[in-house]
Amino acid sequence: MNGLSDAPDAPDAPDALAVVMARSATDEWAALVGAAVLGTDRRPAPAPGPGWDAWNTATDPAEALLDRAAAVVVARRAGSCPQPAPAIEVPTAPTDARPPCPVACAARLGRLLAGEHDVLLPEWFARCEAAGVQLPWATLPALLLRGRRHPHLDAAVRRLARGRAAWLAEVVPELGVRPTPVPITDQSPPFAMPPAPPDSAALVTTIVTVFHERTATWAAARELALAAASIDPVWLPTLIAQLARIGFDPTIERTRREVLAAAEFRHAMLLEWSARPTYPSRPSDPIPGDPA
């Protein structure tokens, strides 16, 4: 950025003095910095180079130095040129013929990674894989970093990212991710969708009953959200409608909101993926309005 030369599309050819000044700008700047560091009281600035004397008019040496420095700064900033292309060649990532991830689905993954309803993360991955689309590449570094402590997630990410995960790990070593998958151990937490219940209708009834009986305390919230994540998607609208209708009670309100939000989130996520042909298409009931 600090190379000085004529601007590439300058209307006129640079005159001889401009060329001389361009060459001497670095020396001029070094001389001014040297004088400024020690102070003009101790070390007066040396006489200006050819062309640069036009700004050496002030009688006060300090002011003259500032005038001259300003001239060099303006010349350097205005005349900055692109640097030569770097010598280090980067291999291109393996080509990926899959279509890009739909924008809405990518945004949904962003919210999951930000901590919203992370019980639904495995299902997002399953849908993405079934749809046969690319991972949203902007999330790849965050997923790989998360995978360092979560080998099963890492495996899922690398399977979905194909060659780009290893490529990124090699090209950006400062990310701190290995090109090879994280080894899976016995203690590794699982990364899979919660197992589907034998009877989703019964499970929906159970969830709603727990709320009606006012036993759905905050301690049970995670388990209830997992249950909402496991039921057959066709029952989601029913669950949402039922949860929205439960009367207010301070002991369960927080849990109710959490489970309702998880169900709504999952429903919306599946609708977004349903633009792809893999989502079981059955007309679903309209989502009731936000009870809050």
Partner 1 sequence: MAVRPTPEQVLLLAPDRAAAAAASTAADPGAWSLAGCDDQAVWGQYVATSAEPYEVVVDLDAPAFRCTCPSRKVPCKHCLGLLLMLAQQHVAPAKRLPFAQQWLQRRDRHPTANAADTALDVQGAGDDEVAVEADASGVRTSTRTGRADPGREQRRLDRAERMRAGLLELDRWLADRVRHGLTDPELADPTTWERVAARLVDAQCGGLANRVKRVATRVGEHARWHEDVLEELAVLHALAQGALRTSTLPPDLADGVHATAGLTIAKDDVLAGVPSTAHWLVVGESRTREDTITVQRTWLASQAPGADGRPVTTWAMVLAFGAFGREVTTEHHVGTELHADVHWYPGGIALRALVGRVHEGPAAAVARDAHTVAEAVAAAGWAMAAEPWLERFPVLVCATPRPVGNGRWTLADHTGAMPIVPGFWRLAELVAMSGGRDLVVMGELAADGVLPLTVWAAGATVEL
Contact predicate 211/258, CB 8 Å? no
78 lies in the binding site for partner 1 (CB under 8 A):
yes
| Binding residue for partner 1, selected from 19, 26, 40, 194, defined by CB under 8 A | 40
- Of positions 50, 77, 180, 275, contacts partner 1 by CB under 8 A: 77
Stretch that binds partner 1, among 72-80, 124-132, 147-155, 222-230 (CB under 8 A): 72-80
15 interacts with partner 1 by CB under 8 A:
no
Site string for partner 1, 161-180 (x = CB under 8 A): ---x--xx--xx-xx-----
Judged by CB under 8 A, does residue 93 bind partner 1? yes
Within 176-205, the residues that bind partner 1 by CB under 8 A are none
d(CA 141, CA 139): 6
140 binds partner 1 (CB under 8 A): yes
Nearer to partner 1 by Cβ, of 136 and 233: the residue is 136
DSSP letters for 193-241 = PPPPPS-HHHHHHHHHHHHHTT---GGGHHHHHHHHHHS-GGGHHHHHH
Phi-psi region of 231 (alpha: psi -120 to 50; beta: other; left: phi over 0): beta
Q: Does 82 bind partner 1 (CB under 8 A)?
A: yes
Instruction: Enter the tokens of residue 162.
Output: 């194909």
Intra-chain end-to-end CA distance of the chain, in Å: 55
In the complex with partner 1, which residue's Cβ is closer, 85 or 114? 85
Q: How far apart are CA 148 and CA 143, in angstroms?
A: 9
User: Can residue 90 be called a binding residue for partner 1 (CB under 8 A)?
Assistant: yes
Tokens of 199: 């009877």
Give the residues lining the site for partner 1 (CB under 8 A).
1, 7-9, 29, 32-33, 35-42, 60-63, 65-67, 69-70, 72-74, 77-88, 90-93, 96, 100, 103, 106, 134, 136-142, 164, 167-168, 171-172, 174-175
